[in-house]
């Protein structure tokens, strides 16, 4: 596998030279952040980003994300133009030598948490999700600020979006996703870009909005929409793992053996109640997920793609973008690489016997 690290560009408090010093990290996961959703990404901007990362001794391994416009998710008139722009962006990325794109199909809100700075027992701060708190939130109040979604939405914009989504149930959202997939994947296949859909986070409906990429049955249905390696998954242990019914090692072995995992997000979470969880350190004993078994499953299916330590705690007094501090994610990267090395040597020793 290739160990990668998320970087949010020049405004990121974490610098490329710092990432370069994390043992085993060779790739960067990033995006173009100043192009409005739905517009084509200029080739020049992509090349500039790639060259900046390569000048720091790293590679631009994954684009995360090329956002999908709400008109596409809603199936509104005009979606074809946004899909055309998306295809042009894929062609530009391929021309610049980028081979993997991560995206999601979550209506309005991306990954969602109820608190950014919850203090854990050890004094570190983490992102948490408490179902009862989220149920009391009013997304149309104009005051809602949640991590993981576009805060540029005005109150009026959100009200219109919620009215539009009032007629979109899970099956309608599946129809709209299928329309997008069947239009985009032939382009991805043509230019050689692997697509990786991120699971819904958390993997259940929020604010009355449908969410569909949430469990094994949904993942299986999704890969069946376009049966080709370009139509794959970003298997996120923290997102899917928020539902205890999702068996992460089994999912990795099933979809990994079928060649359907194009990107891996590795992080741990601790279940604190029904549909409630805290983000934790990557260590298996720190949370509810068996990270050692998750890495073993990746090793068992000979996973050779990019992995990134996903969200981390804020530790040692660090401040910055919640969930994306340097220190805890760096610890996670080293922890994951250490397990991978041990499993690789274990396999080599067994093969000699």
Tokens of 313: 């705690």
Whether residue 234 lies in the annotated active site: no
Q: What is the number of helices (H) and of strands (E) in the chain?
A: 12, 12
Whether residue 236 lies in the annotated active site: yes
Closest CA to 184 of 103, 260, 84: 84
Q: Of 69, 71, 198, 282, which one is the catalytic site residue?
A: 198
Whether residue 271 lies in the annotated active site: no
C-alpha separations of 205 from 48, 100, 110, 230, 295 in Å: 38, 28, 12, 27, 29
Beta-strand pair 2-6/100-103:
unpaired
Q: Of 129, 311, 328, 335, which one is the catalytic site residue?
A: 311
Q: Of 236, 303, 328, 335, which one is the catalytic site residue?
A: 236
Beta-strand pair 306-309/2-6:
parallel
Q: Of 201, 215, 226, 265, which one is the catalytic site residue?
A: 265
**Count of Cβ atoms closer than 10 Å to residue 255 Cβ:** 19
Rounded Cα–Cα distance for residues 227 and 94 (Å): 21
Whether residue 198 lies in the annotated active site: yes
Whether residue 282 lies in the annotated active site: no
Rounded Cα–Cα distance for residues 193 and 100 (Å): 6
Q: Of 201, 215, 310, 328, which one is the catalytic site residue?
A: 310
Helix (H) or strand (E) holding 164: helix 155-165
Q: Which residues are part of the catalytic machinery?
A: 198, 236, 265, 310-311, 324
């Amino acid at each position: 596998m290739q160990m990668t690290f998320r970087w949010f560009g020049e405004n990121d408090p974490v610098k490329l030279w710092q990432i370069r010093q994390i043992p085993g990290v060779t790739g960067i996961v990033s995006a173009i952040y100043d192009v409005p959703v739905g517009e084509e990404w200029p080739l020049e901007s992509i090349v500039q980003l790639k060259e900046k990362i390569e000048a720091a001794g790293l590679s631009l391994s994954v684009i995360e994300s090329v956002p999908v416009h709400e008109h596409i998710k809603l199936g509104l008139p005009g979606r074809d133009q946004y899909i055309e722009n998306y295809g042009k962006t894929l062609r530009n990325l391929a021309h610049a030598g980028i081979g993997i794109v991560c995206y999601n199909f979550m209506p309005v809100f991306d990954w969602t948490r109820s608190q950014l700075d919850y203090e854990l027992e050890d004094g570190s701060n983490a992102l948490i999700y408490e179902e009862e708190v989220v149920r009391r939130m009013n997304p149309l109040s104009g005051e809602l600020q949640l991590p993981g979604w576009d805060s540029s939405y005005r109150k009026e914009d959100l009200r219109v979006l919620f009215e539009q989504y009032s007629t979109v149930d899970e099956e309608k959202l599946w129809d709209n996703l299928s329309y997008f997939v069947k239009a985009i994947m032939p382009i991805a296949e043509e230019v050689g870009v692997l697509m990786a859909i991120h699971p819904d986070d958390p993997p259940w409906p929020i604010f009355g909005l449908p969410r569909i990429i949430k469990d094994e049955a949904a993942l299986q249905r999704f890969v069946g929409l376009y049966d080709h390696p370009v139509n794959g998954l970003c298997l996120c242990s923290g997102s899917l793992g928020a539902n205890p019914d999702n068996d992460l090692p089994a999912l990795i072995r099933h979809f990994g053996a079928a060649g359907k995992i194009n990107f891996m997000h590795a992080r741990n979470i601790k279940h604190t109640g029904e549909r409630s969880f805290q983000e934790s350190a990557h260590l298996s004993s720190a949370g509810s997920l068996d990270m050692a078994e998750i890495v073993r499953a990746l090793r068992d299916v000979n996973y050779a793609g990019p992995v990134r330590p996903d969200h981390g705690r804020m530790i040692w007094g660090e401040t910055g973008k919640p969930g994306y501090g340097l220190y805890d994610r760096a610890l996670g990267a080293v922890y994951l690489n250490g397990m991978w090395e041990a499993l690789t040597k274990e396999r080599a020793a067994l093969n000699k016997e």
